Chain A
């Protein structure tokens, strides 16, 4: 045996705990400034899922442009009273809260119970700390749909609780897609409870969304959110969920409205050529899909007026639900709806509140 203290020893594997904050000082421009303005600080030292580059192209705060409070996914946990502050800021009377963390649950591939544990804990936390139906703060139960039993347990838990008014399915992830018969028991239970199913798009970790290699959020945020919703709309419609559970209210959130006419037109074309492949449908998929409800945000207000008018006409102003997405960076305030020239005041009231009253029983 030798005495290592007297010998040369070479460690061939040492992990230096570097951080982006320090390294950024030495990076070439424009990346040095981009990094410094992105607020990542010491992120990356901990071994989180995406610790190399503590972001994806889906990071809302990339390169530090939107500086409004709450615009990023927060490093600090939310405080319940800030929900009411935000509602006052937007002049909103009632809000339906969903979990922002759970929007990434579609990316969990490990066969453990982290999603189930989180979604169950979320119900209890929200009920105890945040939701206040007397003050217009309601919640949607996040559904860990990959685990049917856990999903049914959550629905059982919230069934008689007036603070919860619906079930939320995150559309990112979800293999198999959400029209699959695997999820039938959840739909059956929601229909029985008169609980709307709110499919909420998602796209955390957007770098590889649809396909890898995009470079900027403008690309992945546009495509990822659309793909998440479109893929589930097609599955839910073609597999006949609206025929299986005709009293189930179906809602899709957060991809604007202009994609809907394009998607249903494309799907109808396919359907007319191959209707046997959607055998539960009695007619074109578009007729089912335009019976779904759609959150309006992020509304494409820069689109041609006649296009927006066509979209509202095809979907129906009785099927649109105002949604802010607050506090995220691309939130819509109620004036987005109120300012639309093609709507009359009854339409505005319906989209801003009336339709939601009906769907969510508020």
Chain B
């Protein structure tokens, strides 16, 4: 716990995270996964809104997108800039940044702010 802000929950040293890896921490009564992707940290509740699966323990990758480029053309597929995480149980996938389901943004996993201070990663549990 940070001495300067009681809402911060310590996760661990920055150097313990590899890209695409996660660590779990309890924030209040919620289990939260802290995930590193492309050098950035994200925190989401580790409970898939679909069936309660451990969403933060799933694979992290770029979102696969498709574009209509013209009549009769095959849909052009490419990996976009958005990092997503997929629940290992059924594959429901969410933007790490927003927690929104990539197929229906009305479905959302709660997200938390991540703070890095003095080489240590914290999750802001709010008030």
A residues with a Cβ closer than 8 A to B are 181-182, 184-185, 187-188, 239-240, 243-244, 271-276, 279-281, 283-284
Taking CB atoms, residues of chain B closer than 8 Å to A272 are 50, 92, 101, 103-104, 107
11 contacts between A and B (CB under 8 A): A181-B74, A185-B72, A188-B71, A240-B66, A272-B92, A272-B104, A272-B107, A275-B103, A276-B63, A276-B64, A283-B103
Residue of B nearest to A279 (CB): B66
A51 to B64, CA, bound (A): 51
**B77 interface hit (Cβ, 8 Å):** yes
B residues with a Cβ closer than 8 A to A are 50, 63-68, 71-75, 77, 90-93, 101-104, 107
Taking CB atoms, residues of chain B closer than 8 Å to A244 are 68, 71
Give the residue of B66, B72, B77, B103 whose beta carbon is less than 8 angstroms from that of A184.
Answer: B72
Given A272-B104, A284-B104, 15 other A-B contacts at CB below 8 A? Answer: A181-B74, A182-B72, A240-B75, A271-B103, A272-B103, A272-B107, A273-B90, A275-B101, A276-B66, A276-B93, A279-B65, A279-B66, A279-B67, A280-B68, A281-B103
Question: Total A-B residue pairs with C-beta atoms closer than 8 Å?
Answer: 57
A279 to B68, CA, bound (A): 9
Taking CB atoms, residues of chain A closer than 8 Å to B63 are 276
Residue of A nearest to B101 (CB): A272
- Shortest distance from the beta carbon of B32 to any chain A beta carbon, whole Å: 23
- Shortest distance from the beta carbon of A350 to any chain B beta carbon, whole Å: 29
- Shortest distance from the beta carbon of B40 to any chain A beta carbon, whole Å: 22
A275 to B91, CA, bound (A): 10
- Shortest distance from the beta carbon of A159 to any chain B beta carbon, whole Å: 18
Residue of B nearest to A239 (CB): B75
A243 to B66, CA, bound (A): 12
Give the residue of B72, B90, B102, B104 whose beta carbon is less than 8 angstroms from that of A181.
Answer: B72
A276 to B92, CA, bound (A): 11
Taking CB atoms, residues of chain B closer than 8 Å to A182 are 72
Known contacts: A279-B65, A279-B75, A279-B77. The answer to whether A273 contacts B104 by CB under 8 A is no
Residue of B nearest to A188 (CB): B71
Taking CB atoms, residues of chain B closer than 8 Å to A276 are 63-66, 93, 102
Give me the 3 closest cross-chain CB pairs, A-B, nearest first: A279-B66, A275-B103, A276-B64
Residue of B nearest to A245 (CB): B71
Taking CB atoms, residues of chain B closer than 8 Å to A275 are 93, 101-104
Taking CB atoms, residues of chain A closer than 8 Å to B50 are 272
- Shortest distance from the beta carbon of A103 to any chain B beta carbon, whole Å: 27
Taking CB atoms, residues of chain B closer than 8 Å to A181 are 71-75
A184 touches B92 (CB 8 A): no
- Shortest distance from the beta carbon of A331 to any chain B beta carbon, whole Å: 38
